């Protein structure tokens, strides 16, 4: 398996192609690859002047994200499928709905994968109007706990990982599904890796301190010139209102000033997560698809 430092060597190449890509989907950030290095062996190939990121497992490989470096075209996709061969995993993940028209072909099937929730940053920063009455109530509950909102620093690392353990344990107790419990385990390592290397990955991180301990954290990155993407967010479930509070404060943060929109990613196919995201009234959703050969 490739080491963390060996994987980071590829970041300058990835970023150079990303800089040429105006239609960036949310997963097109190096942290999205970095977080899953314990589960896949990643390789990077330049095909038709596009950077293609392949994720390998013993059963085969798949294209982890759309080719990076410009508009998505059918010839690049065709070459990627040739490289993957007839393995059980062969597919192209995370195609945005507006990229599908360029991939119309009798050789491929597209399957809806997920919807990402997009909010107007000023709506969440202000929480104005009757629609956000409940969210303002949550924020006020959090404020009564005297939270301190601050930039993430290395000294917060242990507090963040300890918070994840508390959060995951609480979530696991409330759900019996093996799939959900497996997801919590998978994300444990991914969160720890990304947080430990947040600076090298170019992430913006914020934490909330209550009673001297990390009670919430959030990390994200610019998805494009208009949109900031929240990679992940965790809040102590025993402290009411903190999830709303940290999202509100992040959207009001001066670092997000240049961005009109905030992408809070998808709901993982979980009704409870979907309900929580709907409570913040997304401006719209972006559908993502998986492409496979017929």
Band of the pLDDT at 253, cuts 50, 70, 90? very high
**Region 67-77 average pLDDT:** 91
Element (H, E) at 48: none
- The CATH architecture to which 4-105 belongs is 3-Layer(aba) Sandwich (3.40)
- pLDDT 10s digits, 35-50: 999 999 999 999 999 9
- pLDDT 10s digits, 107-128: 889 999 999 999 999 999 999 9
Q: Which ranges in 71-156 belong to alpha helices (H)?
A: 74-84, 121-126, 133-143
Please give the Cα distance from 219 to 200 (Å, whole number).
Answer: 13
Helix, strand or coil for residue 195? helix
Best CA proximity match to 224, nearest among 258, 247, 255: 258
| Residue-wise DSSP of 106-127 | TTEEEEEEEEEEEEEHHHHHH-
**CA distance from start to end of the chain:** 31
In a 10 Å sphere around its CB, with 0-12 CB exposed, 13-18 middle and 19+ buried, how is residue 288 labelled? buried
Element (H, E) at 155: none
Can you give the pTM of this predicted structure?
A: 0.92
Instruction: Compute the half-sphere exposure of residue 18: CA atoms within 13 Å on the CB side of its CA.
Output: 20
Cβ atoms within 10 A of the Cβ of 23, count? 13
**Where do you find CATH 3.40.630.30 in the chain?**
4-105, 117-285
The third-level CATH classification (topology) of the domain covering 117-285 is Aminopeptidase (3.40.630)
In sequence order, the β-bridge partners of residue 52 are: 45
Report the pLDDT value the prediction gives residue 176, as an integer from 0 to 100: 60
Q: What is the mean pLDDT of the chain?
A: 92
The residue written with tokens 């430092």 in the block is 5
């Amino acid at each position: 398996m490739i080491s963390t430092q060996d994987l980071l060597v590829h970041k300058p190449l990835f970023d150079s192609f990303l800089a040429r890509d105006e239609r960036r989907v949310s997963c097109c950030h190096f942290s999205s690859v970095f977080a899953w290095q314990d589960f896949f062996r990643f390789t990077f190939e330049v095909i038709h002047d596009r950077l293609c990121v392949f994720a390998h497992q013993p059963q085969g490989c798949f294209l982890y994200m759309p080719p990076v470096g410009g508009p998505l075209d059918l010839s690049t996709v065709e070459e990627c499928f040739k490289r993957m061969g007839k393995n059980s995993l062969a597919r192209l993940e995370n195609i945005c709905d507006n990229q599908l028209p360029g991939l119309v072909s009798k050789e491929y099937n597209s399957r809806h994968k997920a919807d990402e929730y997009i909010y107007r940053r000023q709506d969440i920063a202000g929480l104005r109007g009757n629609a956000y009455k409940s969210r303002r109530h949550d924020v006020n509950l959090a404020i009564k706990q005297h939270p301190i909102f601050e930039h993430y620093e290395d000294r917060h690392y242990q507090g963040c990982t300890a918070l994840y353990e508390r959060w995951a344990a609480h979530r696991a107790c409330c759900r019996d599904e093996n799939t959900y419990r497996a997801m919590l385990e998978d994300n444990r390592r991914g969160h720890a890796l990304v947080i430990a290397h947040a600076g090298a990955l170019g992430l913006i991180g914020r934490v909330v301190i209550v009673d001297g301990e990390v009670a919430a954290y959030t990390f994200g990155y610019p998805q494009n010139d208009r949109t900031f993407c929240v990679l992940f967010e965790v809040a102590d479930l025993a402290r009411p209102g903190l999830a709303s509070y940290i999202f509100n404060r992040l959207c009001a943060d001066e670092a997000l000033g240049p961005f009109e929109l905030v992408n809070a990613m998808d709901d993982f196919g979980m009704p409870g997560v979907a309900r929580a995201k709907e409570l913040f009234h997304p401006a719209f959703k972006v559908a993502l698809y998986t492409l496979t050969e017929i």
